[in-house]
């Protein structure tokens, strides 16, 4: 008899779990609909803009109230997964496109194909829609995107006499390597520039995989190739080697990039940048806000395009997205809110608040985003070259990234392994991981 | 055995180094909370803010409802601590004084349950709470915290109960005290420091808990302090460092206050177990 009690408890729990009926979450009350909008905006300006837009919507739509809920980038995937499983997900979901694949394939997100207005659909370019298209459905609206740019110490750059790159005439990857060696005061190939602890570039590569893959697109690197059978295989071609080799050589051959920042995040490199240790730091476009806030008075900086390869300035991005939960009983209303939120004028406000680029072509034409100050013009010039991050819809990518690619790239950049071993691990070990997801 | 002067100096040096190691993150947090943005980006950060400012605190309060979140955390943590202690104390007494197979099995379960990762239990827990209509309820969160704290609280208290000599209870019984009188007048006072320590453990674990609060509370007005603190963080670990440090500093204050208030009780608790048999 004693052995039965765990079973009794289990049955009891199941009964409890099964006894209640779902309350439908955000159902209508007195004909009034309430939609929950979970936003991941976190910077003050961005949160303010989101709240203002929600207020404006609510004022204009007394029968459809949107409730603003602030979420957090930290643990958003686990939080959403639990909410989806429990049938309590927000109606409108803010996330990043590289987080959507599992939710889309899992049936948690509504297919927006028939719900969005022609205005919004045609305003956002096809290459951006590719980031949220899984199978035949569209599971999110990409609305903000962030290219990687070079933030440079303007005074140092001008003093050195190197050619200043522009979006029309960027540095090639080989030119970039030469320039960083010159800026580091070396050019002698002996490392650590001239030995004064100053470097041409600092690579913050705490998360080396997305940076490497996204920048590799410029050199024609794709790494992930979908075959006729629909299965994805990893191949490491010459184009895939350009960016890793450049970084490796800057750190291990030229000494124009410090080894110490390889394990750092972008914010960690800023003090060294402000302190005159590094001439340039490759960072996401939105880091400009931190630079504006934290740079010492009189510090002059400028935004340069990332180096270009055979395919020009192309690079991969995973835009921020707005999706609708499949369980939402008010999908049309949720889509209407998204449509309102992403009107060109509003998209500009959101982009300014987040220091990012809008995906909408109309918003990108706004004068507020085209000024030279703070590098906005350089960013807007790059917008047309942004593509879907190569791996974002590949199933098994997160495991490949964590177990294979991150340690392999970290070891390669630090000089512990060579290019041959990097290739073997990314391809051979990587395909073993992907095979498990594609049986 | 006498300790030589050199050994003692070494011991003090080790103790000092350990204290510095423990204090460093907190002192750095306090220093950061008072630094203006330009000092946060300095290559050679100073221990003390060169140009101290309260702007980070103003901004933190301006951007996030910290007081409301702190009040929610306080309710959840106090509720969890009180309920966990009320449940665990009689259970611990039984387990310590009556060593049956069930008590041994319970102890084993306590150890095993500490190894469960949050993500393993969160979805079933979410479903159960949803059907009990306890999602988005601080009461539901308290319930989860109690369940989560209970095994360890039980484990701690069993040790404290065992430290109270059974002979004292037997002597009280011989003197004519009833069961309840013995428990109230003899055992409970000796156990008090242990109960306080256990309550403190439950309080702090609930006060600091993030993931359950993130998942179970939907309404912004019910969010707890650890959840609100993450609102100062962006994607890929980018942070609004000044306001984050200011808010995190404020979040540590209640724990420090609780520790300060009950420190004597805790110290007393350490010696309470040192009764000669």
Residue B37, token pair as written in the block: 């943005």
Q: Provide the pLDDT confidence category of residue A12 given band limits of 50, 70 and 90.
A: very low
pLDDT value for B276: 42
Beta strand pairing status for A224-226 and A137-138? unpaired
Name every chain B residue with its beta carbon within 8 A of the beta carbon of A266.
236, 238
Q: Which residues contact A58 (CB under 8 A, 6 or more apart)?
A: A65, A66
Name every chain B residue with its beta carbon within 8 A of the beta carbon of A70.
220, 231
Say which of B42, B215, B238 has its CB closest to residue A79: B215
Cβ–Cβ gap B40/A294 under 8 Å? yes
pTM score, whole prediction: 0.83
CB contact B104 to A (< 8 Å): no
Cβ–Cβ gap A73/B234 under 8 Å? yes
CB contact A28 to B (< 8 Å): no
Name every chain A residue with its beta carbon within 8 A of the beta carbon of B219.
69
Query: Would you put residue B45 in left (φ > 0), alpha (ψ -120 to 50) or beta?
Result: beta
Name every chain A residue with its beta carbon within 8 A of the beta carbon of B124.
13, 17
Q: B170 CA to chain A: closest CA distance, Å?
A: 32
Cβ–Cβ gap B240/A43 under 8 Å? yes
Residue A270 has pLDDT above 80, yes or no: yes
Mean pLDDT in residue range A381-401? 88
Q: Find the residue in A nearest to B238 (Cα).
A: A267
Q: Count how many residues are written for chain A.
A: 439
Percent of chain A with pLDDT over 70: 91
pLDDT value for A25: 44
Residue A24 has pLDDT above 90, yes or no: no
Q: Provide the pLDDT confidence category of residue B87 given band limits of 50, 70 and 90.
A: very high
Residue B261 has pLDDT above 70, yes or no: yes
Residue A27 has pLDDT above 70, yes or no: no
Say which of B38, B126, B227 has its CB closest to residue A294: B38
Residue A14 has pLDDT above 60, yes or no: no
Strand runs labelled E in A108-168: 133-134, 137-138, 141-145, 148-153
Return the C-alpha torsion angle A129, A131, A132, A135, nearest 10.
Answer: 100
pLDDT value for A186: 55
Average pLDDT, chain A: 89
Cβ–Cβ gap B42/A19 under 8 Å? no
Percent of chain B with pLDDT over 70: 93
Q: Count how many residues are written for chain B.
A: 277
Per DSSP, the three-state class of A321 is strand
Q: Between residues A184 and A352, which one has the greater pLDDT?
A: A352
Q: Between residues B256 and A46, which one has the greater pLDDT?
A: A46
Residue A166, token pair as written in the block: 């522009």
Cβ–Cβ gap A72/B230 under 8 Å? yes
Q: Provide the pLDDT confidence category of residue A418 given band limits of 50, 70 and 90.
A: very high
Cβ–Cβ gap B41/A295 under 8 Å? yes
Name every chain B residue with its beta carbon within 8 A of the beta carbon of A88.
126, 130, 135, 218
CB contact B131 to A (< 8 Å): yes
**C-alpha triplet B28, B34, B39: angle, nearest 5°:** 80
pLDDT value for A203: 96
pLDDT value for A435: 92
CB contact A406 to B (< 8 Å): no
Cβ–Cβ gap B128/A74 under 8 Å? no
Cα distances (Å, whole numbers) of residue A296 to A29, A251, B42, B63: 54, 27, 8, 25
Name every chain B residue with its beta carbon within 8 A of the beta carbon of A274.
41-43
Name every chain A residue with its beta carbon within 8 A of the beta carbon of B119.
78
Say which of B43, B128, B241 has its CB closest to residue A275: B43
Name every chain B residue with its beta carbon within 8 A of the beta carbon of A20.
130-133
pLDDT value for A30: 67
Residue B116 has pLDDT above 80, yes or no: no
CB contact B147 to A (< 8 Å): no
Q: Find the residue in B nearest to A38 (Cα).
A: B218
Q: Which range, of A5-19, A193-207, A394-408, averages the lowest pLDDT?
A: A5-19
pLDDT value for B187: 86
Gap between the Cα atoms of A234 and A222, Å rounded: 9
pLDDT value for B135: 87
pLDDT value for B172: 84
Q: Which range, of A123-132, A190-199, A289-298, B73-82, averages the lowest pLDDT?
A: A190-199
Q: Which residues 258-297 of chain A have a CB within 8 Å of chain B?
A: 265-267, 270-272, 274-277, 284, 286-287, 290, 293-297
Q: Provide the pLDDT confidence category of residue B259 given band limits of 50, 70 and 90.
A: confident
A362 burial class (0-12, 13-18, 19+ CB within 10 angstroms)?
middle
Which candidate, A139, A28, A142, places its Cα nearest to that of A80? A139
Burial A310-349 (b: 16+ CB within 10 A, else e): ebebbbbbbbbbbbbbbbbebbebbbbbbbbbbbbebbbb
φ/ψ of residue B55, rounded to 5: -60, -35
Q: Which residues 103-142 of chain A have a CB within 8 Å of chain B?
A: none
pLDDT value for B130: 85
Strand partners, A320: A96, A144
Cβ–Cβ gap B218/A88 under 8 Å? yes
ipTM above 0.85, yes or no: no
pLDDT tens, residue by residue, A145-182: 999 999 999 999 999 999 999 999 999 999 999 999 99
Name every chain A residue with its beta carbon within 8 A of the beta carbon of B237.
206, 265, 267
Q: Which residues 323-362 of chain A have a CB within 8 Å of chain B?
A: none
Cβ–Cβ gap B41/A296 under 8 Å? yes
Max avg pLDDT among A78-82, A242-246, B206-210: A242-246
Q: Where are the alpha helices (DSSP H) in A61-164?
A: 76-85, 100-105, 118-123, 126-129, 154-160
Q: Provide the pLDDT confidence category of residue B2 given band limits of 50, 70 and 90.
A: low
CB contact B55 to A (< 8 Å): no
Residue A419 has pLDDT above 50, yes or no: yes
Say which of A18, A19, A265 has its CB closest to residue B236: A265
Residue A271, token pair as written in the block: 């003090």
CB A131 within 8 A of CB A389: yes
Percent of chain A with pLDDT over 90: 73
Cβ–Cβ gap B43/A36 under 8 Å? no
pLDDT value for B273: 45
Name every chain A residue with its beta carbon within 8 A of the beta carbon of B234.
42-43, 73, 286
Q: Provide the pLDDT confidence category of residue A144 given band limits of 50, 70 and 90.
A: very high
How many beta-carbon contacts under 8 Å exist across A and B?
124
Residue B186 has pLDDT above 80, yes or no: yes
Q: Which of A82, A85, A87, A93 to mutate to test the interface with B (most CBs of B within 10 A)?
A: A82
CB contact A44 to B (< 8 Å): yes
Say which of A16, A82, A274 has its CB closest to residue B43: A274
CB A376 within 8 A of CB A369: yes
Residue A37 has pLDDT above 80, yes or no: yes
Name every chain A residue with its beta carbon within 8 A of the beta carbon of B62.
44
Say which of A42, A85, A206 has its CB closest to residue B231: A42
Q: Which range, of A153-162, B198-207, B268-277, averages the lowest pLDDT?
A: B268-277
pLDDT value for A189: 44
Q: Which range, of A310-324, A334-348, B109-123, averages the lowest pLDDT?
A: B109-123
Residue identified by tokens 């951007």 is: B63
Residue B79 has pLDDT above 70, yes or no: yes
pLDDT value for B257: 84
**Which DSSP string do the residues of B197-256 spell out, in sequence order?**
HHHHHHHHHHHH--HHHHHH--SGGG--HHHHHGGGB-GGG-B-HHHHHHHHHHHHHHHH
Say which of B119, B132, B235 has its CB closest to residue A16: B132
Gap between the Cα atoms of A149 and A141, Å rounded: 24
pLDDT value for A255: 92
pLDDT value for A1: 37
């Amino acid at each position: 008899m004693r052995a039965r009690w765990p079973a009794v408890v289990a049955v009891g729990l199941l009964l409890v779990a099964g006894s209640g009926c779902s309350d439908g979450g955000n159902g209508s009350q007195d004909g009034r609909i309430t939609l929950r909008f979970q936003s991941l905006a976190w910077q003050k300006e961005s949160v303010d803009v989101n709240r203002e837009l929600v207020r404006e919507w609510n004022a204009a739509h007394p029968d459809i109230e949107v409730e603003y809920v602030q979420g957090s980038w930290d643990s958003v995937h686990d939080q959403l997964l639990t909410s989806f499983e429990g049938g309590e997900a927000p109606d409108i979901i803010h996330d990043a496109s590289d987080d959507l694949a599992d939710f889309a394939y899992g049936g948690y997100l509504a297919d927006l194909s028939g719900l969005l207005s022609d205005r919004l659909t045609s305003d956002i370019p096809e290459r951006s829609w590719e980031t949220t298209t899984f199978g035949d459905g569209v599971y999110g609206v990409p609305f903000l995107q962030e290219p990687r740019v070079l933030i440079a110490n303007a005074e140092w750059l001008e003093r050195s006499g190197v050619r200043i790159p522009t979006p029309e005439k960027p540095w090639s990857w080989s030119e970039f390597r030469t320039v960083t060696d010159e800026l580091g005061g070396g050019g002698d190939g002996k490392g650590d520039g001239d030995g004064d602890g100053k470097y041409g570039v600092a690579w913050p590569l705490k998360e080396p995989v997305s940076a490497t893959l996204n920048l590799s697109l410029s050199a024609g690197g794709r790494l992930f190739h979908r075959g006729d059978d629909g299965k994805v295989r990893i191949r490491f071609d010459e184009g895939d080697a350009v960016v890793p080799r450049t970084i490796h050589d800057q750190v291990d051959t030229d000494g124009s990039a410090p080894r110490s920042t390889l394990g750092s995040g972008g914010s960690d490199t800023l003090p060294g940048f402000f302190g005159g240790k590094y001439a340039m730091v490759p960072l996401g476009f939105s880091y400009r806000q931190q630079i504006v806030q934290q740079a010492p008075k009189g510090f002059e900086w400028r935004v340069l395009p990332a180096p270009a390869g055979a395919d020009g300035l192309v690079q991969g991005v995973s835009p921020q997205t707005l999706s609708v939960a499949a369980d939402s009983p008010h999908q049309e209303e949720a889509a209407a809110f998204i449509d309102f939120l992403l009107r060109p004028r509003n998209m500009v406000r959101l982009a300014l608040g987040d220091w990012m680029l809008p995906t909408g072509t109309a918003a990108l034409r706004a004068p507020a985003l085209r000024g030279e100050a703070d590098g906005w013009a350089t960013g807007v010039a790059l917008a047309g070259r942004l593509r879907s991050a190569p791996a974002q819809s590949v199933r098994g990518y997160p495991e490949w990234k964590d177990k294979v690619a991150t340690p392999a790239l970290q070891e390669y950049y630090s000089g512990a392994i060579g290019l041959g071993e990097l290739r073997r691990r990314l391809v051979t070990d990587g395909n073993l991981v992907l095979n498990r997801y594609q049986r | 055995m006498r300790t030589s002067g050199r050994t003692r100096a070494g011991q003090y040096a080790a103790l000092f180094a350990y204290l510095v190691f423990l204090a460093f993150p907190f002192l750095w947090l306090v220093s950061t909370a008072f630094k203006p943005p330009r000092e946060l980006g300095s290559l050679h950060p100073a221990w003390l803010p060169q140009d101290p400012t309260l702007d980070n605190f103003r901004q933190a309060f301006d951007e996030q409802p910290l007081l409301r979140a702190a009040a929610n955390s306080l309710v959840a943590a106090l509720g969890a601590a009180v309920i966990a202690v009320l449940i665990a104390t009689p259970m611990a007494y039984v387990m310590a004084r009556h060593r049956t197979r069930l008590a041994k099995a319970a102890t084993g379960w306590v150890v095993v349950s500490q190894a469960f990762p949050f993500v393993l239990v969160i979805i079933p827990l979410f479903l159960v709470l949803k059907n009990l209509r306890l999602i988005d309820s601080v009461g539901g969160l308290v319930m989860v915290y109690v369940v989560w704290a209970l095994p360890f609280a039980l484990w701690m208290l069993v040790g404290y109960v065992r430290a109270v000599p059974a002979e004292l209870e037997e002597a009280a019984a011989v003197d004519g005290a009833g069961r309840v009188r013995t428990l109230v007048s003899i055992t409970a006072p000796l156990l008090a420091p242990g109960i306080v320590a256990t309550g403190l453990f439950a309080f702090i674990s609930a006060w600091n808990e993030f993931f359950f609060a993130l998942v179970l509370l939907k309404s912004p007005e019910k969010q707890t302090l650890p959840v609100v603190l993450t609102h100062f963080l962006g994607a890929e670990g980018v942070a609004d460092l000044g306001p984050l440090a200011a808010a995190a500093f404020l979040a540590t204050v209640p724990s420090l206050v609780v520790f300060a208030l009950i420190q004597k009780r805790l110290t007393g608790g350490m010696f309470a177990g040192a009764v000669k048999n």
